[in-house]
Amino acid sequence: MWAKKTTFSCVGTCGGCAIALLDGSICTKASAQSCGECIQVAETCGWCSDENFLTVGQSKSARCDDLESLKKRKCAANKIENPRGSIAVNKDKPVTNRKDVAEKLKPEDITQIQPQKLTLTLRSGEPQTFQLKFKRAEDYPIDLYYLMDLSFSMRDDLENVKNLGTDLMEEMRKITSDFRIGFGSFVEKTVMPYISTTPARLLNPCTGNENCTSPFSYKNVLKLTEDGDEFNKLVSQQQISGNLDSPEGGFDAIMQVAVCEKDIGWRNVTRLLVFSTDAGFHFAGDGKLGGIVLPNDGRCHLENNMYTMSHYYDYPSIAHLVQKLSDHNIQTIFAVTEEFQPVYKELKNLIPKSAVGTLSSNSSNVIKLILDAYNSLSSEVILENSKLPEGVSITYQSICKNGVESSGDNGRKCSNISIGDEVFFKISIESQKCPSHGKSEIIKIKPLGFTEEVEVVLNFICDCQCAAEGQPKSKKCSGGNGTFECGACKCNEGRIGLSCECSKDEVRTEDLDANCRKDNGTDICSNSGDCVCGICECKKRENPAEVYSGKYCECDNFNCDRSNNKLCGGHGRCECRKCICDANYTGSACDCSLDTSTCLAKNGQICNGRGTCDCGICKCTNPKFQGPTCETCPTCPGVCTEHKDCVQCRAFDAGPKKETCEQECSYFNLIKVSDRDKLPQPTDQSYPLTHCKERDANDCWFYYTYAIRNDTKEVYVVENLECPAGPDIIPIVAGVVAGIVLIGLALLLIWKLLMIIHDRREFAKFEKEKMNAKWDTGENPIYKSAVTTVVNPKYEGK
């Protein structure tokens, strides 16, 4: 996303802008001595070219300030130098939009990116933004070069590739009518220990009865052609070779395919390189094993279509390959076996616009792999730019299919683009400084894998237009010691001062310093400035609205008295450390109003006749009275009755003022408390307080306090009413019943107790009489025994 520049300005009196005018602070801090220096500080800085703009004590750099401050300092708009950047489109050929799909166009007549050339005029800190359109063209030509590993392990793959030309040509014709194909092969560097250098192995590196061709580094078998049969014919003639180690020399081959454009036959169209292998790769540094230490030079070394310098130059590095592939707009497809997928996927992450496909063990799926990889690569566009000049930055914002927007790193690319789709990029270029040489620069922006590019010419605003009208050796500059431009003197080398009147060697002399003292007992320039050529140039403050002034910098506009944290109370201006008050205000800080209208009471008297009006505020002479006009007496009789109805309606939504409560009773702040103990107490307050107890229509009591504190009326009220409690029937009935039951139980217990005592007494009396009784032992005359004895007369006692 593009940084959004914000200009802050100071509003109000001087000294009140500690945070505002941030950009202005940058401008004044820079101490720019010329208009050119000023406009390089920030895009918000301007230079006042009015010759009479500066006041006494101000330095030349005071002409440089933010635009709003210059206007407030009475610099005319036509005297403010503020050059702005611009954008000019030099070449804007529309993207190709074919009405007839069968229409044949030459590659150079197809346009996929618009515009093609722009000129940007840049001012430091001011970004210039333009929009770039990309449209994926229909029937765009394709060049495909098939680079194959011909080491011994790929012998079965070669058989399947022999018919690749016509089959692939047939499939690619469905995508484009202009398709060319080429073929190349690689094995390894032809030195030990990569291959065996014995004479027999040099002729046939394979073992057993295998008939293999001599090892080689890279061979361009067939340059790009439209003849698929020719591809099949030449590939059929290829033989497998062999080497000793597992990694192959594929990087040497890729480098030669990229840089040897004429030998390969690359056109300025979509360029695809299919790299087919079942092994890993050697890279920069591995050549030391064979005694090869010279870095790869990235140049073409093909003779008779053979790479002849493999024994002389080391393998290229990955970064070197990335650069060359990008420079030549080649998109790489790695067709590798499952075993080496992880390695080449990591390599893909390092090479932009590349893809990885899984090659079957015998390359039978190579056509499908190529088609899938091509569709993946062609459906994504990624923008890149050439090296930026020092101090220049670029940001991207993409507007992709369906209006999806991205920024940052993702702002460079769009995915899932179909043929005929249009996407847009907003590109912002910003310069932070002028280049040292001051000349134009050129950068190029292009989509990776495409030959088309956008040329952007950068011109830099390094000076103001008024500088071109300068007067060299002007008499206004101390008899020709400088150039008078943009309302000020631009001194020659070795000269200083507003009018270039001094030499640098004379700056610190005592005679000149004496001219900068108000009297002998004061500091040079009141210790608030520097003595330059006998003239005080006052220092600058962190806040540019705060200014030192005066011939000896003895004055300022920020050290006056303050009131309510405002300079001169906000009712005046500070001049030379004294407040100049507005009308109807007086005092050292302009904090005393002479207007008595604020002291008038309702009866028309000033302060209700009970005080004096001092600076627009009543000072009550009777301590019982208070308020802004001495009309309030919180401790006078009748306060509770006066406010009873309003307290009742606001606190309990009841009372005679219930319907008109909002209109008549909003003059005080109501605070509810839970109980009477929470009410403010007179002993705790520094202001008069009245405690009130009032009864409502239901004979309920409510308690509140009324007070005036800091001109604010406050009422604290207990939120719960205190009402007389009625009889509770249930407890009474329950109590009566319980009482009757308890009394009955008590009576029964007493009766039982008395009966027990009575029985015990009777029993004791009976026992006592029993003990004392005397009974007659004679026979009862009426007693007759129950036993009768009869004698048997015949019993003889035997």
- The answer for residues whose C-beta is within 8 angstroms of residue 35's C-beta and 6 or more apart is 47, 49, 63, 64, 81, 463, 464, 466, 467, 485, 486
CATH superfamily of 509-556: Laminin (2.10.25.10)
Three-state helix/strand/coil letters over 60-104: HHHHEEEHHHHHHCCCCHHHEECCCCEEEEEECCCCCCCCCCCCC
pLDDT at 16: 36
φ, ψ (nearest 5 deg) of residue 790: -120, 135
Looking at per-residue pLDDT, the higher value among 689 and 583 belongs to 583
pLDDT tens, residue by residue, 463-504: 898 888 888 888 888 878 888 889 888 888 888 777 887 877
Judged against a pLDDT cut of 50, whether residue 348 lies above it is answered with: yes
Q: How confident is the model at residue 257 (pLDDT cuts 50, 70, 90)?
A: very high
Q: At the topology level of CATH, where does 562-593 sit?
A: Laminin (2.10.25)
- Specify the pLDDT at position 586: 86
Q: How are the residues of the chain apportioned to helix, strand and coil, as percentages rounded to the nearest 5?
A: 25, 25, 45
The DSSP call for residue 524 is G
The CATH architecture that domain 639-718 belongs to is Irregular (4.10)
Q: How confident is the model at residue 184 (pLDDT cuts 50, 70, 90)?
A: very high
**693 C-beta neighbours (distance < 10 Å), count:** 12
pLDDT band at residue 11 under the 50/70/90 scheme: very low
Closest CA to 652 of 707, 723, 727, 726: 723
Report which of residues 797 and 318 the model is more confident about: 318
Average pLDDT, the chain: 84
The whole-number average pLDDT for the span 767-782 is 71
Q: Give residue 189's pLDDT band: very low, low, confident or very high (50, 70, 90).
A: confident
- C-alpha–C-alpha distance, residues 515 and 108, integer Å: 76
Choose which CATH entry (1.10.3330.10, 1.20.1740.10, 3.40.50.1000, 2.60.40.1510) describes domain 86-98+107-138+383-461: 2.60.40.1510
What is the reported pLDDT for 526? 84
What is the rounded distance in angstroms from the CA atom of residue 430 to the CA atom of residue 422? Answer: 26
Amino acid identity, position 584: N
The per-residue pLDDT for 479 is: 78
Share of the chain above pLDDT 90, in %: 28
Instruction: Decide if 702 contacts 723 (C-beta within 8 A).
Output: no
Q: What is the pLDDT of residue 144?
A: 93
Confidence tier at 508 by pLDDT (50, 70, 90): low
CA 343 to chain centre: 36
Strand order across the 405-407 sheet: 113-114, 128-135, 422-431, 392-399, 405-407
Instruction: Identify any residues that bridge with 578 across adjacent strands, giving them in sequence order.
Output: 575
Structure tokens at 309: 């310098």
Is the pLDDT at 539 greater than 50? The verdict is yes
Quote the crossing angle between the two packed helices 318-327 and 341-350, to the nearest 10°: 60
State how far the Cα of 490 lies from the Cα of 502, in Å rounded to an integer. Answer: 13
Cβ atoms of residues 268 and 220 within 8 Å: no
pLDDT for 788 equals: 79
- CA nearest to 95, candidates 77, 74, 114: 114
pLDDT tens-digit map of 107-141: 888 899 999 999 999 999 999 999 999 998 888 89
pLDDT band for 21, please (50, 70, 90 cuts).
very low
Same fold for the pair 142-379 and 509-556:
no
Over residues 696-703, the mean pLDDT reads 85
Domain residue limits, the chain: 86-98+107-138+383-461, 142-379, 509-556, 562-593, 639-718
Question: What is the spatial distance between Cα 672 and Cα 687, in angstroms, rounded to a whole number?
Answer: 20
Residue 51: CA count within 13 A, CB half-sphere: 7
Running DSSP on this structure, what letter comes out for residue 324? H
Q: Is the pLDDT of residue 712 over 90?
A: no
SS (H, E, C) 712-746: EEEEEEECCCECCCCCCHHHHHHHHHHHHHHHHHH
Confidence of residue 779 (pLDDT cuts 50, 70, 90): low
Residue 280 CB neighbour total at 10 angstroms: 17
What is the CATH architecture of 142-379? 3-Layer(aba) Sandwich (3.40)
